[in-house]
Structure 1
Amino acid sequence: MSSNAFPDPVTTSSRRWFWPLQGLGWLGYFILHFTAAMGDGKPLHYVTASLSVTACGFVITSLLRLGYRRLWGLPVPRMAAAAVGLLVLATLVQMKLYVAIAFSYCDDCEIRSVFGYLWYFASTLYILLSWSALYFGIKIALQLQQQKEAALRARNAAHAAQIKMLRYQLNPHFLFNTLNAISTLVLDDKPDTAYRMVASLSSFLRHSLDSDPEQQVTLMQEVDALNLYLGIEQVRFGDRLQMLVDVEPAARDALVPSLILQPLIENAIKYAISKREEGGRIELIARIDGDMLDLHLRDDGPGGVEADLAANGHSRVGLANTRERLRVLYGERQHLGISNRESGGADVHVRLPFSTAQDERP
């Protein structure tokens, strides 16, 4: 496949900007050259000399650009040496044309010493060197901007992949537990209960797969997703599992990461509900504290959270993944802590920046 099939963004952008800038630059040169000639007492028809000199400069720098483009991408020492050679050659040609055109309007004009040649060469070199510096400066600036944008896209892609990895690492364990429970129900000859659990699992998985882990949802949408998950667990535990949701009105539309609370609920069920014959209660409490959203997930289980988590590898992984996901999304402006309650049970505290969908609109 030809390398031209995928044009260089730097080359494309520089082409778009080159001709307008080239035209404006040499138009400015023409105005300065002609007004300086009028101030020096030249006749009005000298405008043709100014136009001719400007046209020569326009053509020579356009050709110089073609030479510079061929050098682009070479090692810096080779590119610099070749660029200097092209610049000197272009200066000599432009100086020769300038002298020929200017002297054609003056009968007694001539270069009488080597210093005269040096003056014409230096003045022409100054103009072409300034043009070359501007050309390379713009081209390098465009390349740096392209590299910055490419690095940003790569960082965003890695960020998105990390979030998805952290989210989806939690699903296999939950799926294994649920399928194991369904298998037990079938072996216990409880087909109706097993069917309800399969239906609930299907609804939850459909929601989980349809939701984007990079996107945020309102807190009430997250509660609806939790209800799908709890519908599965309710089949297993029946009246042993009680759930209380207490969300103040101001927090209902707060944005949270999709399915961020599911692994925390899973841990609460594991330690507060399944270990006790009488079951237990889980509370989700949401409040606004200044510019932060405070979430508390509490249970009335036996407590001993630190010891239980140290003994269970998956729980450590689930909480660690949730912490990492929050860190990736919010940086230092987040908190996830877990502690034992004085009245018994555990309290998981999640603190996030408070925002709504209206705040996210540009």
Structure 2
Amino acid sequence: MEALLRQVLRGTAVRLCAIVWLFGYVLVDITAAAQGRSAPGLMLLANLPLMALGIAQSIALGLLLDRLEGVRAPVRWGAVALAGLIAAMVQTVADHLVLAAVALTVLPDWQGWALGIDASRKFTILVLYLWTYYLALALTWASRSADSAKMNAARAAAFAAAAARAEAAALRLQLNPHFLFNTLNAIASLVVRDRQEQAEEMIGRLADFLRASLVSDPAGLVPLDQEVATARAYLTIEEARFGTRLRIDCAIDPAAGQVDVPNFILQPLVENAIKHGAAPVRGPVTISIAARVEDRVAVLSVANTASARPPRGGGRAGVDGERSGIGLANTRSRLAMHYGASAWMECGPTADGYRVELGVPIDPHRLDAAA
């Protein structure tokens, strides 16, 4: 990353130095033409070697500034200022030699002013070159600071995205140990009771569910139909555990089936429905999953017909609302990461159980396509 940063900065320095020196020698050409010393463009052509020298020395000053990056500021800038003065002196001497050579070989009309050694004129040229070098150096440093800020911002954005993905993965996987514990206990129970075929079938279902969990993007979006299918796979495993007293009911509006929702957003809700709705009771239990579209919002719900110990809290709550158990808290957090305040969550007891509803905003283009 550091090598890439330096490459970018040096490329920027080359462009800046070329612009500064080209602009400077264009002004020299315009001035010489206005004073009648040369035809327009001729002075610029003669100064091309000097322009190349100025660009090269300016880039060298920028590299020197990079090399002294860890040195104290007074020493660093003092050394660079001295190097700039030396570069300006070299440029001034080269200016006299190049123009004198041109006057002696190609343009004898220039000999009247190009061969003379006027101390005052040479000092003025030195000051102008010194100003040009310091200007190129200042622009290079400013560009370096801006590019470094952009690179730091890009790094921060990448780290933030990675952190968000890690947080989403942690929230999604937080409940899995509980599920695995119950599933493995159920498989062990089937093996003890010599129900080998059912145990093998449950192991296969568990492998399919874990495969879907591991290959999916924890921070991504998936169609609701896919999310419901994953939840059904989980509930199918639980059906082997609870037997005939567990009934699964799904009612998904076709218009909502293709709506994108956060991956595994239903998982903690169906786990809660099993934990609080099926495990504490002995009678039949129905776990219902439903989805519908209302005013460009996909309303998802998970409900159970009996809940001996419903999670605390109820009524409509924003995604920053009161914590109501780990499953609901994780769901609120994931909704907040994906949608901010645009999503909502409603949970509370019903006449014969408990229900959780989520409101997920729909992309208007996706809604029109589904229609």
TM over 0.5: yes
Q: Which TM class, normalised by the smaller chain length?
A: 0.7 to 0.9
- Matches of 1:232 and 1:99, distance apart in 2: 90
Tell me the SS of whatever aligns to 2:30.
Answer: helix
Residues 125 and 333 from structure 1, CA distance in 2 versus in 1: closer, same or farther, beyond 3 angstroms?
same
- The partner residue of 1:344 within 349, 352, 355 is 352
- Matches of 1:267 and 1:39, distance apart in 2: 86
**C-alpha displacement of 1:248:** 1.9
> What residue is the counterpart of 2:195 in the other structure?
190
Residue 161, structure 1, aligned to residue 166, structure 2:
yes
* Greater alpha carbon shift after TM alignment, 221-230 vs 96-105: 96-105
> What residue is the counterpart of 1:29 in the other structure?
24
Q: Aligned-pair RMSD on alpha carbons? A: 3.1
What aligned pairs does 1:1-362 form with structure 2 within 5 A after superposition?
Answer: 8-44=3-39, 47=42, 50-72=44-66, 73-75=69-71, 76-98=73-95, 105=110, 107=112, 111=118, 119-302=124-307, 305-306=310-311, 316-341=325-350, 343-355=351-363
Instruction: Give CA-to-partner distance per residue, 1:316-354, whole Å, 9 cap, x none.
Output: 23333333233333333333342112x231111222232
Query: How many residue pairs are counted as aligned between the two chains?
Result: 345
- Matches of 2:36 and 2:243, distance apart in 1: 104
* Code of the aligned partner of 1:59: L
Tell me the SS of whatever aligns to 1:275.
Answer: coil
Whether the 8 Å contact between 2:13 and 2:62 is mirrored in structure 1 is no
* Code of the aligned partner of 1:197: M
- Matches of 1:93 and 1:159, distance apart in 2: 55
- Matches of 1:91 and 1:69, distance apart in 2: 17
TM-score if structure 1 supplies the norm length? Answer: 0.82
Gaps of 5+ in 1: 1-5, 310-314
Instruction: Give CA-to-partner distance per residue, 1:240-284, whole Å, 9 cap, x none.
Output: 222222222221111112222122111112222233322222222
- Matches of 1:18 and 1:10, distance apart in 2: 12
TM-score if structure 2 supplies the norm length? Answer: 0.81
**C-alpha displacement of 1:144:** 1.9
- Matches of 2:112 and 2:122, distance apart in 1: 18
Residues 210 and 110 from structure 1, CA distance in 2 versus in 1: closer, same or farther, beyond 3 angstroms?
closer
Residues 302 and 19 from structure 1, CA distance in 2 versus in 1: closer, same or farther, beyond 3 angstroms?
closer
Tell me the SS of whatever aligns to 2:265.
Answer: coil
* Code of the aligned partner of 2:148: Q
- Matches of 2:38 and 2:328, distance apart in 1: 86
* Code of the aligned partner of 1:336: M
* Greater alpha carbon shift after TM alignment, 56-65 vs 219-228: 56-65
Whether the 8 Å contact between 1:57 and 1:94 is mirrored in structure 2 is no
Among all aligned residue pairs of Structure 1 and Structure 2, give the percentage whose two residues are the same amino acid: 29
Residues 193 and 83 from structure 1, CA distance in 2 versus in 1: closer, same or farther, beyond 3 angstroms?
same
- Matches of 2:334 and 2:365, distance apart in 1: 20
